[in-house]
């Protein structure tokens, strides 16, 4: 998400959108907004690892929520109820909508410019690969396990690094239980 949004912002540069302004700048697609959208996208995936349709709905909730204005609230996909992260839907639940003001939203022209990215990154074929909370980069996952057992910040010998790699492979393949079995066999 972050890479795609940054690439879009860079490719459009000084080109004017439908509202006569560029995609970047104050109140538009800034680096802070890109980071926030990326985090929300990741949360939508990690929060719905069992159901691809709920995952997709959560991703579209991010887009629609940030595109919402007081004149055009777009909270169709946002979670309902008083425990929702969507403050608008909390107000709906508590019958306080008339007093609600949208604080952070993207202009319509920016929302429409980023919509194709949300469409691409919410494709069911892509999201199916995220079911079960699996990473799309198994090497990155294995490397993080190795560095968990032998942190880069602490100097280690080759023997310690090999043991860390061995434990990480066991943990990666069979889960933490395999390490306990190995330790019990060694005793």
* Chain segment 116-146, per-residue pLDDT in tens: 999 999 999 988 888 876 655 655 667 777 8
Q: How many CB atoms lie within 10 A of CB 136?
A: 10
Checking if the pLDDT of 167 tops 90, the result is no
Q: What is the pLDDT of residues 23-39, one digit of tens each?
A: 988 889 999 999 999 99
Average pLDDT over residues 89-101: 83
Average pLDDT over residues 86-108: 83
**What pLDDT is attached to residue 115?**
94
Checking if the pLDDT of 56 tops 90, the result is yes
**Rounded to whole angstroms, what are the CA distances from 157 to 144, 148, 154, 184?**
18, 15, 10, 25
Checking if the pLDDT of 101 tops 80, the result is yes
**What pLDDT is attached to residue 52?**
92
Checking if the pLDDT of 105 tops 80, the result is yes
Q: Which two tokens stand for residue 130?
A: 């995220």
**What pLDDT is attached to residue 113?**
93
* Rounded distance between C-alpha atoms, residue 104 and residue 152, angstroms: 39
Q: Which two tokens stand for residue 15?
A: 């080109």
């Amino acid at each position: 998400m972050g890479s795609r949004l940054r690439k879009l912002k860079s490719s459009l540069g000084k080109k004017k959108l439908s509202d006569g302004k560029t995609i970047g700048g104050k109140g538009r697609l800034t680096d802070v907004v890109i980071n926030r959208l990326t985090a929300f996208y990741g949360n939508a995936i990690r929060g719905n690892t069992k159901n691809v349709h709920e995952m997709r709905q959560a991703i579209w909730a991010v887009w629609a929520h940030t595109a919402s204005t007081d004149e055009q609230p777009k909270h169709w996909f946002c979670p309902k109820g008083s425990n929702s992260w969507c403050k608008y839907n909390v107000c709906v639940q508590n019958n306080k909508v008339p007093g609600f003001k949208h604080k952070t939203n993207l202009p319509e022209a920016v929302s429409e410019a980023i919509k194709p990215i949300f469409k691409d990154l919410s494709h069911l074929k892509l999201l199916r690969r995220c079911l079960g909370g699996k990473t799309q980069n198994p090497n990155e996952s294995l490397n993080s396990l190795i560095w968990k057992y032998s942190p880069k910040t602490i100097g280690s010998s080759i023997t310690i690094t090999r043991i860390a790699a061995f434990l990480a492979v066991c943990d990666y393949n069979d889960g933490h239980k395999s390490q306990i079995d190995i330790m019990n066999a060694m005793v």
